[in-house]
Structure 1
Amino acid sequence: MGACSPKVRTVPSNTVKTTTENPVVKKDKPADKPPVKTPEARVSPISLVLPLNLDHAATGQSYTSANLNAANMSVDYYQGFKLGLDSATADGANFKIQIFDSKGNAAQAHSLGLNPQVKNAELIVGPIFPDDVKAFTAMLTKPRKPVISPLSPAAPATFRNPNLITMTPPLEYHAMGAATYVAKSLKPQKVFILTSGFSEEKLYAAPFKHTLDSLSKRKIQVIILTVVRGNLTPLAKQLNNKVQNVFVIPSTKQSFLMVTLRSLDTLSNKFPVTVFGHPNWEKFAFLKAALLQRLNTHITSSDKVDYKSAETNTFLRNYRRTYHTEPTDFAIKGFDQGLYFGQLLAEGEDMNKPELKDFTGLHNSFHFVKKPGLGWINTHVDILKYQNFDLKKVQ
């Protein structure tokens, strides 16, 4: 600004000087430059609403097992999320984290939904549990910034909030992902859906069938059979010993799975068998990898971490150095989400109308679709297959 200002020179009055007089030249005093005010760094406030249950940490109080698990999960998620934000500050972004204790209580979540400090943040993350999310978002009826449901896979229709961002793909998107893989990669003539008769299995079976019918234009025949005591005899005449026979089993019942999978194992001696199971199968110790491998079993997953990748090992080193402990799955999910949303805020993304880009994280990738009245939903799932007594990513 000073360089653009005109320089003012004082002109001396006319005087008579002798030959011995040395003229004195007056030097102009540089014009004072107005102080330049350094712009303050932009700080993005972020509200985390987590079930820390801190009242149980008071003197004379104690945690129940359930409350302690929720608190540990919250701490792990927070530590990962903060580390993700730290990674996003490399380009000069600044964040202010405000943590609020939802106590795993719907009434407390309802109250926090009215708290101006919570609502005025640029980003709101949490609550965690479905009942708390429902009570919290019920208080945010006016158009505003989105609320992130960070860990719950509950269907967005449970909440019917247009501002919700569901980070964990609901079950129907696992079914849709499996059906897409079957239709485009396997291209069978028939698919057999084996059910135990429980209505909850329709949450997986129905979107699977709908997606398969849509993609194949009903050229792939879908046969639904309720299996009793592992009896697969009614299917024998419909099987083909020259192509893969694809079976979809949406059940999570131990007794049903043990009997039905043994029957399929026997059937696989005569017919090529490929099985698609519920995503929760990965957690079941009673399902043996050897049996699942013989049945050419596939499942979908939204939190498979590749511990051999360079990115994962960098995160592990940083987490151990920062917190002196091993990260859990919740910490890894927190890191991915902290890095993702931190980058959006650092880029100046308008969180009133966010453009949610695709993102490849350590535990899962993000690919969002926006549904009217339901908000944004992450729909990306991986297809895993049992190989060499382990789950390997095939897509």
Structure 2
Amino acid sequence: MKLRLLLLFLILVTVSSGSTFGMMSVKTITVTASQKPKFIELKVKRKQTVFSIARQYGITMEELYRHNPSAKKGIQVGQTLRIPVRGNEQPKEPTKPDIQETQGEHEQDQNKTKYFTYKIKPGDTLFDLEKKYDMPSDSLVAINPQLQKGVLPGSLIKIPGSRLPVIISEPEKEKEFIRYTVHSDESVYDIASRFEISINELKNANPELKYRELLKGEELLIPDKSLRKKIFDKSIQDSIWVLPGYKIKHRYQGLPEPCNTNSESKGKTYQVALLLPLFLDANDTINRMSLSNKELLADSAFMNIYKRGASLPKDTFRIRKEKIIDPRSENFMHFYEGVLMAVDSLRKQGKKFELFVFDTERDSMVIRSLIQQDIFREMDLILGPVFPEMQSEISAFSAKNRIPMVSPLSSSGNFEKKNPYYFKVNPDKEYLIRQTASWVADEFFDKNFIVFRIGDYRHLQEAELVNQCREKLFATGYYNKHREVLFHECNFETEGISGIKNILSQKLENVFIIPAVNEGQISVAVTNLNSLAEQTNVRLVGLSGFKGYRSIQPEYFHRTQLQYMTHYFIDYESVPVNRFIAAFKKQFATEPNEFSFQGFDLAYYFMNALHKYGKDMPRCISNFRMELNQLSLNFQRVSKTGGFMNYGLVQVAYEKDFSIKNKGLYGPNNLLPLKSPAEN
């Protein structure tokens, strides 16, 4: 066994600090002599939080942090804090929050109310609410005592207005929108149905609705669908709808304050470990071609050295002219080349990194040997390993030494549950199913929804997709207001295509899901839906694995208008993607593949975050956004003591004109505005 270490880059260039992420408001405060605060010292007691201490002493959390910078990382029992007290003001006794009663969720005035309401959705947890509103759970429960009995779907909770961002929306073209005033007893589903838009379109135009319910009298921007035009597309010999751009500029105020830029980054060179199964030994030998004695004797140049046949060596070989790569390492070579492109981009920005590349093969002994090396304990960031069975010891090492570790490709392993420094890039299937069901309820609540059953699926995870779609669609309340049955399940094996035809709608779009994982079954289902698409309006909702099924003709996905959620998508029509392809081809004389894009995006994102925040990266990364070529990254903690998973998803749609479109972000905490790489 041989451990290979390649020290590839030592970049010593002046640092160019990136711009501060997010929007910051500047306040000027004049303090008179009588207003200058005095301080008392407070020892933190059990169950006290920053929020409860600030409330007790009548100060803001920002004031407490300003005078106690270490509190930003958390407070401990027995820790001493400096508390500003002005004049003869005495600290207040801890009391329950002063709750302003409201007259119902639609009777509030947006400018005057102290609290907004949020309707609990299926799948919400208390930890989800903590993250969504940046509030500790004890504060949420104090305001909403009913949460002590659990987080019950459909119940309303109060959220302090101060926890919601203020978002000012300005259409680029006013004529593309209708300004609508909300009336009593209206829901988002009523409004979306009336104007023939999806919930997602409504919330994208009015992002504040991602945080709260409707308010009576508030004004909403509604994309005007009456402006759409039907044109004939010669490429598909069919008519398609063409819509306006519906572009809106959103100005965000009151978002969570971003972490301060790392002051040490200017003089620091960060050390990054890249762990990949490159199989370098195998690649050293795969291009060797053994030579026989006859071939050696026929080589005049060789025989000038070896005059006698008896002295011919037994291990002589020549190297292939057309070199090949061990197939086990080919994609990881592409990933590695993408990382090199990212490091080169960072170097040109003046940021300093040392990249250490380790060939892990697929051998746990290599990993065990690696973590014994002194140099490995000096790393600031670990990218890899890629296989979950190789991650256990590295994850334990990462947690013990507080070194952030990134799992770049696998959704399994679940080390994020125990290691607070672990980052899972590929979201697990459970999350994808939950978000797909939420998206279905937002997008297709007023459509004819059909479960295309082909085989017993009750033992599959896809059964949960069916259950959650059913639960979330009925939870919208839309079905209760309409007599027509809009949710169906049809067993294709027993009822055949005629059973499907009997529940089709001729006036509504027919939305299908196929709860199966067997490629043959899915292929049969999609083929039949493709035939139905010639007669009626069909849309297929799937999972990202569908596009990998080779037995299904790609045009079937376009005719059935396949849509799915995923964390990666490459738009080959975008300028940054084509710029990357050109640079990659110039550097490596080959086309990049998906692994090349992923290697670049991951390295570029995490190295920028490391340079920006230093050791505070795990604490700050939840608010770090960046536009990338392929990946949608939005890391959130999976629990209070756990690590991170990527919650960033985009909607991918196969269109009838044979294009594949990114329909935009979907998921929690997607309100933060994205910054392009040049702005970070």
Q: TM-score range by the shorter chain?
A: 0.7 to 0.9
Alpha-carbon spacing, 1:318–1:269, altered in 2? closer, same or farther (3 Å):
closer
Q: Is the 8 A contact 1:46 1:97 kept in 2?
A: yes
Alpha-carbon spacing, 1:45–1:157, altered in 2? closer, same or farther (3 Å):
closer
Whole-angstrom distance in 1 between the partners of 2:612 and 2:633: 18
Where does structure 1 lack aligned partners over 5 or more consecutive residues? 1-38
Alpha-carbon spacing, 1:374–1:282, altered in 2? closer, same or farther (3 Å):
farther
**Partner in structure 2 of residue 164 of structure 1:** 422
**Partner in structure 2 of residue 42 of structure 1:** 268
**Does 2:596 match 1:331?**
yes
Deviations 1:227-248 (A, max 9, x none): 4278255555544332122111
Alpha-carbon spacing, 1:297–1:355, altered in 2? closer, same or farther (3 Å):
closer
Alpha-carbon spacing, 1:222–1:322, altered in 2? closer, same or farther (3 Å):
same
Alpha-carbon spacing, 1:253–1:207, altered in 2? closer, same or farther (3 Å):
closer
**Partner in structure 2 of residue 369 of structure 1:** 636
SS at match of 1:353: helix
Q: Is the 8 A contact 2:457 2:463 kept in 1?
A: no
Deviations 1:81-132 (A, max 9, x none): 1211222234422000111121122343344344443343110000011211
**Partner in structure 2 of residue 18 of structure 1:** none
**Does 2:306 match 1:79?**
no
Deviations 1:214-235 (A, max 9, x none): 4762546765555427825555
- CA positional deviation for 1:269: 5.7
Q: TM-score scaled by structure 1?
A: 0.77
Q: Which amino acid aligns with 1:44?
A: Y
Q: TM-score scaled by structure 2?
A: 0.47
Matches within 5 A, 1:206-225: 206-207=464-465, 209-210=467-468, 213-214=471-472, 217=475, 219=477, 223=488
Alpha-carbon spacing, 1:60–1:235, altered in 2? closer, same or farther (3 Å):
closer
- CA positional deviation for 1:267: 4.3
Whole-angstrom distance in 1 between the partners of 2:372 and 2:472: 43
**Does 2:242 match 1:242?**
no
Whole-angstrom distance in 1 between the partners of 2:429 and 2:347: 34
| Identity percentage of aligned residues | 22
Whole-angstrom distance in 1 between the partners of 2:418 and 2:458: 21
Residue in structure 2 matching 1:182, options 440, 452, 455: 440
Task: Name which of structure 1's ranges 230-239 and 357-366 shifts more when overlaid on structure 2.
Answer: 230-239
Residue in structure 2 matching 1:382, options 650, 659, 673: 650
Whole-angstrom distance in 2 between the partners of 1:313 and 1:235: 43
Q: Is the 8 A contact 2:423 2:644 kept in 1?
A: yes
Q: Is the 8 A contact 2:445 2:473 kept in 1?
A: no
Q: Which amino acid aligns with 1:121?
A: M
Task: Name which of structure 1's ranges 346-355 and 119-128 shifts more when overlaid on structure 2.
Answer: 346-355
Residue in structure 1 matching 2:576, options 289, 300, 311: 311
Deviations 1:351-377 (A, max 9, x none): 353424122211122112210255211
**Partner in structure 2 of residue 53 of structure 1:** 279
Task: Name which of structure 1's ranges 233-242 and 145-154 shifts more when overlaid on structure 2.
Answer: 233-242
**Partner in structure 2 of residue 98 of structure 1:** 356
Q: Is the 8 A contact 1:153 1:168 kept in 2?
A: yes
Q: Is the 8 A contact 2:377 2:401 kept in 1?
A: no
Residue in structure 1 matching 2:660, options 363, 366, 391: 391
SS at match of 2:568: coil
Q: Is the 8 A contact 2:411 2:426 kept in 1?
A: yes
Q: Is the 8 A contact 2:392 2:415 kept in 1?
A: no
Matches within 5 A, 1:277-296: 277-296=542-561
Whole-angstrom distance in 1 between the partners of 2:629 and 2:353: 22
- CA positional deviation for 1:383: 1.8
- CA positional deviation for 1:256: 0.9
Where does structure 2 lack aligned partners over 5 or more consecutive residues? 1-264, 289-324, 480-485, 665-680
Task: Name which of structure 1's ranges 142-151 and 223-232 shifts more when overlaid on structure 2.
Answer: 223-232
Higher RCO structure, 1 or 2 (CA under 8 Å, sep 6+)? 1
Larger Rg: 1
- CA positional deviation for 1:253: 2.2
- CA positional deviation for 1:282: 1.4
Task: Name which of structure 1's ranges 306-315 and 170-179 shifts more when overlaid on structure 2.
Answer: 170-179
Q: Is the 8 A contact 1:276 1:297 kept in 2?
A: yes
Q: Which amino acid aligns with 2:493?
A: V
Whole-angstrom distance in 1 between the partners of 2:498 and 2:556: 20
Residue in structure 2 matching 1:127, options 385, 404, 407: 385
Q: Is the 8 A contact 2:448 2:508 kept in 1?
A: no
Q: Is the 8 A contact 1:155 1:170 kept in 2?
A: no
Q: Which amino acid aligns with 1:171?
A: K
Q: Is the 8 A contact 2:270 2:353 kept in 1?
A: yes
Aligned residues: 353
Whole-angstrom distance in 1 between the partners of 2:519 and 2:465: 23
Deviations 1:35-82 (A, max 9, x none): xxxx994210001111112232455998xxxx9233222221122112
Q: Is the 8 A contact 2:275 2:359 kept in 1?
A: yes
Residue in structure 2 matching 1:193, options 451, 471, 478: 451
- CA positional deviation for 1:165: 0.7
Alpha-carbon spacing, 1:232–1:312, altered in 2? closer, same or farther (3 Å):
same
Alpha-carbon spacing, 1:287–1:390, altered in 2? closer, same or farther (3 Å):
farther
Q: Is the 8 A contact 1:156 1:374 kept in 2?
A: no
Whole-angstrom distance in 1 between the partners of 2:420 and 2:266: 34
Q: Which amino acid aligns with 1:123?
A: L
Task: Name which of structure 1's ranges 232-241 and 68-77 shifts more when overlaid on structure 2.
Answer: 232-241
Deviations 1:175-233 (A, max 9, x none): 34433332223323553333444669733441564367347625467655554278255
Alpha-carbon spacing, 1:134–1:192, altered in 2? closer, same or farther (3 Å):
farther
Q: Is the 8 A contact 1:195 1:225 kept in 2?
A: yes
Deviations 1:148-172 (A, max 9, x none): 0112233636975332211123333
- CA positional deviation for 1:134: 3.4
Whole-angstrom distance in 2 between the partners of 1:71 and 1:319: 19
Whole-angstrom distance in 2 between the partners of 1:90 and 1:165: 27
TM-align CA RMSD: 3.3
Matches within 5 A, 1:105-120: 105-120=363-378
Q: Is the 8 A contact 2:416 2:642 kept in 1?
A: no
Task: Name which of structure 1's ranges 263-272 and 144-153 shifts more when overlaid on structure 2.
Answer: 263-272
- CA positional deviation for 1:304: 1.9
Deviations 1:127-149 (A, max 9, x none): 01121123432444426122101
Deviations 1:1-54 (A, max 9, x none): xxxxxxxxxxxxxxxxxxxxxxxxxxxxxxxxxxxxxx9942100011111122
Whole-angstrom distance in 2 between the partners of 1:102 and 1:217: 49
